[in-house]
C-alpha cells in the first residue's frame, strides 16, 4: 500500500510525540520515510536534527542543522541548536559563532546568555 501525504503528516506528528517522550531513535525512524518522500521539508529535517541530537548522534545532527540553515539562514533556533551540537562535539569556536548568530537573529534570554557577549575581554584588560 503506497504512503499518502496524510501518512507523512501522521508520521511527523507521531515523531514529535516520540521526541517529547524521549524516544529520539523512534522519531528518527518515522522521519526517515517523511524526508525520503519530501526531502525539501525543512520542518521535518529540523525535527530529525533535534532527534539526532537527543540521541547523541552528533554528526548526523550537525549535517541536518546545516542543511536547514542552507535553506533558512535566518532560523535562530537552528543556529542555536547547531551551536549546542558543536559544543557537545568539543568545538567551542564554531559553537560561539552560531550562538552569536542565534542571539543576533532572536535576542531570547537563553540565546543571549549562550552567546556570552559580555564575556569578551575589554581593551583595559
Instruction: Please name which of 46, 84, 40 lies closest in space to residue 64, comparing C-alpha atoms.
Output: 46
Percent of the chain with pLDDT over 70: 92
Per-residue pLDDT reduced to its tens digit, 46-90: 999 999 999 999 999 999 999 999 999 999 999 999 999 999 999
DSSP string, 84-97: HHHHHTT-HHHHHH
Instruction: Please name which of 69, 80, 72, 73 lies closest in space to residue 102, comparing C-alpha atoms.
Output: 80
User: Which pLDDT belongs to residue 47?
Assistant: 98
For the entire predicted model, the pTM comes to 0.89
User: Which pLDDT belongs to residue 5?
Assistant: 76
Report residue 120's pLDDT band, with 50, 70 and 90 as the boundaries: low
CA separation for the pair 3, 17 (Å, rounded): 20
Amino acid at each position: 500500500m503506497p504512503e499518502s501525504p496524510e501518512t507523512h503528516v501522521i508520521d511527523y506528528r507521531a515523531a514529535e510525540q516520540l521526541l517529547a517522550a524521549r524516544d529520539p531513535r523512534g522519531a528518527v525512524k518515522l522521519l526517515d520515510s517523511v524526508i525520503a518522500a519530501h526531502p525539501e521539508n525543512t520542518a521535518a529535517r529540523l525535527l530529525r536534527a533535534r532527534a539526532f541530537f537527543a540521541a547523541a548522534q552528533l554528526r548526523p545532527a550537525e549535517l541536518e542543522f546545516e542543511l536547514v540553515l542552507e535553506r533558512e539562514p535566518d532560523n535562530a533556533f537552528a543556529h542555536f541548536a547547531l551551536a549546542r551540537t558543536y559544543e557537545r562535539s568539543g568545538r567551542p569556536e564554531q559553537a560561539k559563532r552560531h550562538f552569536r548568530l542565534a542571539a543576533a537573529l532572536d535576542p531570547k534570554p537563553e540565546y543571549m546568555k549562550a552567546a556570552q557577549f559580555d564575556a569578551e575581554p575589554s581593551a583595559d584588560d
